[in-house]
Structure 1
Amino acid sequence: MKVYGRNVLKEILNTNTPVKMIYFSNSGDKELKKLIEIAKIKKLPHTIANKKILTKLCNYEKHQGVVIDIGEFKYKDEYYIENLNNPFIVILDQLQDPHNFGAIIRTAVAAGADAIVIPKNNSVQVTPAVIKVSVGTIFRINVIQVVNLARFIEQIKKYGIWIYGADMHGKKYYEIDLKKPIAVVLGNEGAGIRRLIKEKCDDFISIPMKNHVESLNVSVSAGIILFEVMRQNESIDS
């Protein structure tokens, strides 16, 4: 997989994510030269090429003079969860939009989540666009891909994790105990959480609305709910 963007590269460098090759454009501006120097210091494979070549590599013109070949994206195994202490998990039930996925990843990292879980089928996967929208923060969190989401939820319940689904008919998010260990389930942009997945949830949380607004974009809802989880757990974590 070839990803792109200077901030994405910075996250790769800061997290020591393995790379196959870094392609820099020959534009020669100061920031780019600094990134090239860091790549040299870290002894990462890199080369200098014409901007048009970089555009061909990633099929995107606004690559900021940086394209990174990271190979196949490595999803974490679902059994990773059992080794977490007091986890905070974000579960996405058949999300479709890569921009929503990337935005939720960035929010989840900022709110201190330990992992994001997605189903293998009928769901957006990690793509260069997702990584770009996440501004590279995806390399700071574990993304878990599961075959059967309902079965996965049943399994993590055995670890003492409480499952809360985001649903318009749920309790107000600020009136419910969201202490860890916890998993927040966010549904598909149009259909919400599937019935089978709802049946696995322990409770439901909602965001109260005014002016007859029915719902928010799922990435906006994620921001509100995940930061409430962070707020309620701050005293525990400190």
Structure 2
Amino acid sequence: MGYHESLTEGRNAVLEAFRSGKTVDRLFVLDGCQDGPVKTILREAKKQDTMVQYVKKERLDQLSETKNHQGVIAYCAACEYAEVSDILENAKKKGEAPFIVLLDGIEDPHNLGAIIRTANQAGAHGVIIPKRRAVGLTATVARTSAGAVNYTPVAKVTNLVTVMEDLKKEGMWFVCADMDGEEMYSLNLKGPIGLVIGNEGEGVSRLVKEHCDMVASIPMKGDIDSLNASVAMGVLAYEIVRQRRF
């Protein structure tokens, strides 16, 4: 199955992409460009909370396929995003307690793709990612997920903490992966649960960690002190699967 992150170039085309309701993951704008049409595009980007990067002309020329970018290039998502309510609905339809994976700033598209693939296999009802400082549903992510992006809903949110607070009101518990946590085998991970995985380098941010009910560590027997983010997610997800069986 071919996934194309559509590259949209030129002022009219980019404006049209925003107005037609396409999800624009990223907008590249020529640094210092402040005329009317560009301001209109930036207004639309602000409404959608799209990440905007101001770059030099060389960078735009390098990204451009048409060689006629007029100072603006937009990257549209390869797949459609879901809403958090769709994820809860997915659990309800299956008659299961919600199991949701929340990612606090995964930047590597291969990691995100692998996580969505594992989430699908482990029976998670959806994945939640933040808009800022994180990779979105790019073509690489879609390919690495081996098609799982078509079945596992992915929601993109402005603020993870706010979403966690809302989900707690629905009765969800949150566990995050961190080396200084309790060994995962001694935790009760049954019931409606959100599994939080942090950024590849920095781990889970302080604020998100403070909103977690449990901190789980994976027993490490090796000579290095960490696992790849997508592997850590897989190990914890299957401990949740194991506990849910009984």
> So what's the TM-score if we normalise by structure 2?
0.65
Per the alignment, residue 75 of structure 1 pairs with 81
Query: Which amino acid in 1 is paired with 2:156?
Result: Q
Structure 1 residues 106 and 71 mapped into 2: Cα distance closer, same or farther (>3 Å)? Answer: closer
1:81, 1:156 within 8 Å by CA — same for their partners in 2?
no
Among 140, 144, 162, the alignment partner of 2:155 is 144
Distance in 2 (alpha carbons) for counterparts of 1:229 and 1:212: 26
Structure 1 residues 140 and 81 mapped into 2: Cα distance closer, same or farther (>3 Å)? Answer: closer
Distance in 2 (alpha carbons) for counterparts of 1:79 and 1:226: 21
Moved over 4 A (4+): none
- The answer on 1:206 being equivalent to 2:213 is no
1:51-62 matched pairs, under 5 angstroms: none
Shift of 1:72: 5.7
1:82, 1:156 within 8 Å by CA — same for their partners in 2?
no
Distance in 2 (alpha carbons) for counterparts of 1:117 and 1:219: 14
- The answer on 1:3 being equivalent to 2:3 is yes
Distance in 2 (alpha carbons) for counterparts of 1:72 and 1:81: 19
* 3-state SS of paired residue (2:134): coil
* 3-state SS of paired residue (2:129): strand
- Alignment deviations for residues 152-196 of structure 1 (CA, whole Å, 9 cap, x no partner): 001100011000010001111111111120000000000000111
- The answer on 1:109 being equivalent to 2:120 is yes
Query: Which amino acid in 1 is paired with 2:224?
Result: V
Q: How many residues in Structure 1 have an aligned counterpart in Structure 2? A: 170
Structure 1 residues 220 and 202 mapped into 2: Cα distance closer, same or farther (>3 Å)? Answer: same
1:102, 1:130 within 8 Å by CA — same for their partners in 2?
yes
Identity of aligned residues (%): 44
Structure 1: unaligned runs, 5 residues or longer? 5-58, 60-69
Structure 2: unaligned runs, 5 residues or longer? 5-64, 66-75
Shift of 1:71: 8.0
Per the alignment, residue 236 of structure 2 pairs with 225
User: Which protein, 1 or 2, shows the higher relative CO under an 8 Å CA cutoff with sep ≥ 6?
Assistant: 1
Per the alignment, residue 13 of structure 1 pairs with none
Query: Which amino acid in 1 is paired with 2:84?
Result: E
Distance in 1 (alpha carbons) for counterparts of 2:216 and 2:77: 38
Shift of 1:213: 2.1
- The answer on 1:158 being equivalent to 2:159 is no
- Alignment deviations for residues 5-49 of structure 1 (CA, whole Å, 9 cap, x no partner): xxxxxxxxxxxxxxxxxxxxxxxxxxxxxxxxxxxxxxxxxxxxx
Per the alignment, residue 24 of structure 2 pairs with none
Query: Which amino acid in 2 is paired with 1:146?
Result: V
2:88, 2:98 within 8 Å by CA — same for their partners in 1?
no
Distance in 2 (alpha carbons) for counterparts of 1:211 and 1:151: 37
